[in-house]
Amino acid sequence: MKGRAVDVSAELAVAVAAAEAAGTLLRREPAWTSAKGTAGDVTTDLDLRSEELIVSRVRAAYPGDRIVAEESGAAGADGDRVWFVDPLDGTNNLAIGLPVYAVGIAFCVAARPVAGVVHDPVSGGTWSAVRGGGAHGPGLPAEA
């Protein structure tokens, strides 16, 4: 079963659309620091708004799924279907104006990752992968 392709095309489409919409938000809106962690990490209003956008889209498409998001934690029923959301990976970079940050979404079934998306708002590039189906995106061969 390891590496066998699974049909998660609908879930992948939701993840790609949510990541790209969040990327548009991150690229177009100014960031306002809302908190500072003990390790020097910052959280901005854009972390929260990006997460809200992604979670609302996933929740609308899959209301019974569990979502574990970086800022708000876990929500939804316990079950085999779990989404992991990093609404803004590289918050410190964005906060200081360094254009190196991304949006990440992973979808797992029965504790196994089956699909994932990384979107770079600055370049507009989106990379995705499906268990057993390879990885796709700018700079990758057709069958990575």
Two tokens, residue 126: 């989106």
Sign of torsion, CA 71 66 7 114? positive
E-strand ranges in 33-101 read 33-36, 42-44, 66-69, 73-75, 81-89
Rounded distance between C-alpha atoms, residue 111 and residue 91, angstroms: 27
| Binding-site residue positions for Mg(2+) | 70, 86, 88-89
Reference 53, options 29, 33, 34; nearest CA is: 29
| Binding-site residue positions | 70, 86, 88-89
